Structure 1
Amino acid sequence: MAVTWVQRVPVDKISEQAAQVRFWHTVATALAGLLWGLGWLTAKAFALVWLALAWAVVAVRVGWADGRGLGRESGAG
């Protein structure tokens, strides 16, 4: 006789493990994961903003030096 996929599902094992799940522990873990993810995204955003700001400041400084003719010795311009 053919065994259907429903008969292969280990319902007893699943029920046993499901009974061990603690609700508040699960909620706390989900909240901690959410806060960790928020912190990770914030750190990446600040790193990107810092890189853009540093790049812009250096670009202005190089442009200023080229405009005053100070960068010609280094081969710029």
Structure 2
Amino acid sequence: MGARFTGPDDPLLQSGSRVLESMEAVLRGYGIGEQEMVHALRTLRSTFHGFASLQASDGFQWSDDSEESFAWMIRFLDRGLTDIGLR
């Protein structure tokens, strides 16, 4: 996070670009337009990163249902993206 790339051949830049391109393809499938694409990408990245960070730091101590919570989060995002794409 926040890493500075050493140039266009930096493997971190290349792999990060592939991830973003994949996420953009998924979002286009929802009908997300160019004007909303950056906001949708930031939302997905923040959501996934936050969940992964909390899980990695044992931040979900109150229950063993983090897999169920992840599935719920995906359904939640799916509904929101579907709604935005329909506008």
Higher relative contact order (CA 8 A, sep 6+): 2
TM-score, normalised to structure 1, is 0.32
TM-score, normalised to structure 2, is 0.29
Higher gyration radius (CA): 1
